[in-house]
């Protein structure tokens, strides 16, 4: 029995390694697909999430022969809109104009927004040490953004920052709704329906906004990147994430938050020739330390 448990724990570590790597690479891959192969970001994300959602839903239906109730579909629609259509769609749109590693780092601010959102909407008390950690984190953000003084002269760069920040807020909103949800839903089934709904909404948005190109005009290399995002960035990563959560402590699984931006940074420097300087490095280190402190003091009893 112990050997079987250890086997599952080892698989949990492999799953954690997979999500840390694959989610880290999605920033670089998505930016390359958008900028180098001219796949509009909303269309790219819409195709990716629709295909991933269909795959997960078919897998679940084949195993259980069960469809969601109307109440469950309403919940999936809200989460699909916030987590997939808004968050994933806007962050992919945002990194069209900013370095991919900067998009990844902005995404890491989710714990900050989650705490502030819980305090505002659910009246949850913020501990003094968490407040200090948040202040420390915002100093890191200020240091990081100050290193882009020249880039801030571009309206497109500012738009990229705004889109990425809105993406963090919508992801946090969806996370809060999911945490307060009382429905008994299989996680794989749930994320499948949310991906499908969010993907369809993104495809409609891409058509309405003019952010779309004929599918036959997408180069083979662009399709390869899109398939990578679908299979590894969505299906494999989310399944591994759910498996890791089942086998490992949440505090351990959450380390992917620190690894993702580092992988995104390395990928951006190597393949996209994104520049980094000393001030950026200091800001990045301060942000990652503050995320660690926020998580540590949030988990402690007041």
Q: How many residues does the chain have?
A: 302
pLDDT band at 301 (very low <50, low <70, confident <90, very high): very low
Q: Are 195 and 50 in contact (CB under 8 A)?
A: yes
User: Hunting for tokens 């946090």 — which residue is that?
Assistant: 172
Burial classification of residue 231, based on how many CB atoms lie within 10 Å of its CB (0-12 exposed, 13-18 middle, 19 or more buried): middle
* DSSP letters spanning 172-211: HHHHHHHHH------HHHHHHHHHHHHHHHHHHHHHHHT-
> What tens digit of pLDDT does each residue of 172-193 get?
888 888 877 767 777 778 899 9
Helices (H) and strands (E) in the chain, counts: 14, 0
User: Hunting for tokens 């997979």 — which residue is that?
Assistant: 18
CA 68 to chain centre: 25
Residues whose CB is less than 8 angstroms from the CB of residue 52 and which lie 6 or more positions away in sequence, other chains included? 192, 195, 199, 230, 231, 234, 235, 238
Q: Are 183 and 118 in contact (CB under 8 A)?
A: no
| Model confidence at 6: pLDDT above 80 | no
**For the residues 270-293, what does the mean pLDDT come to?**
91
pLDDT at 17: 93
**For the residues 44-72, what does the mean pLDDT come to?**
90
Q: Are 129 and 189 in contact (CB under 8 A)?
A: no
Mean pLDDT over all residues of the chain?
Answer: 89
> What tens digit of pLDDT does each residue of 214-250 get?
999 999 999 999 999 999 999 999 889 888 888 888 7
| Model confidence at 302: pLDDT above 60 | no
Answer whether 0.85 is exceeded by the pTM.
Answer: yes
* 58: its two tokens: 């078919």
Cα→Cα distances 204→14, 193, 234, Å:
37, 17, 20
CA distance 168 to 7: 35
| Model confidence at 197: pLDDT above 80 | yes
pLDDT at 1: 55
pLDDT band at 2 (very low <50, low <70, confident <90, very high): low
pLDDT band at 103 (very low <50, low <70, confident <90, very high): very high
**For the residues 8-33, what does the mean pLDDT come to?**
92
* 130: its two tokens: 């968490």
User: Residue 22: helix, strand or coil by DSSP?
Assistant: helix
User: Percent of the chain having pLDDT more than 70?
Assistant: 96
Higher-confidence residue: 9 or 135? 135
**For the residues 87-94, what does the mean pLDDT come to?**
96
* DSSP letters spanning 210-244: T----GGGS-HHHHHHHHHIIIIIIIIHHHHHHHH
Radius of gyration of the chain (CA): 19
**For the residues 294-298, what does the mean pLDDT come to?**
83
* 235: its two tokens: 């299906």
In which region does residue 237 sit, left (phi positive, over 0), alpha (psi from -120 to 50) or beta (all else)?
alpha
Backbone angles phi, psi at 253, to 5 degrees: -60, -30
pLDDT at 5: 61
| Model confidence at 299: pLDDT above 80 | no
């Amino acid at each position: 029995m112990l050997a079987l448990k250890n086997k599952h724990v080892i698989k949990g570590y492999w799953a954690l390694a997979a999500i840390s790597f694959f989610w880290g690479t999605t920033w670089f891959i998505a930016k390359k697909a958008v900028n180098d192969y001219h796949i509009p970001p909303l269309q790219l994300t819409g195709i990716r999430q629709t295909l991933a959602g269909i795959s997960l839903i078919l897998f679940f239906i084949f195993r259980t022969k069960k469809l969601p109730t109307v109440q469950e579909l309403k919940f999936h629609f809200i989460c699909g809109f916030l987590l997939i259509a808004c968050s994933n769609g806007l962050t992919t749109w945002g990194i069209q104009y900013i370095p991919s590693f900067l998009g990844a780092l902005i995404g890491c601010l989710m714990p900050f927004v989650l705490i502030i959102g819980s305090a505002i909407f659910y009246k949850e008390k913020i501990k003094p040490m968490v407040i200090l950690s948040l202040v420390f984190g915002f100093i890191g953000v200020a240091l990081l953004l100050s290193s882009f003084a020249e880039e801030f002269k571009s309206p497109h760069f500012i738009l990229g920052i705004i889109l990425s920040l809105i993406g963090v807020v919508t992801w946090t909103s969806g996370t809060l709704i999911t945490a307060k949800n009382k429905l008994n839903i299989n996680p794989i089934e749930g994320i499948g329906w949310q991906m499908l709904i969010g993907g369809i909404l993104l495809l409609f948005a891409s058509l309405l906004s003019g952010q779309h190109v004929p599918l036959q005009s997408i180069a083979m290399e662009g399709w390869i990147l899109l398939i990578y995002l679908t299979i590894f960035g969505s299906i494999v990563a989310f399944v591994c994430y759910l498996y890791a959560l089942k086998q490992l402590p949440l505090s351990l699984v959450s380390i992917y938050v620190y690894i993702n931006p580092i992988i995104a940074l390395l990928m951006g420097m190597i393949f996209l020739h994104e520049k980094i300087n000393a001030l950026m490095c200091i800001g990045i280190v301060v942000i990652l330390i503050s995320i660690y402190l926020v998580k540590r003091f949030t988990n402690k009893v007041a």
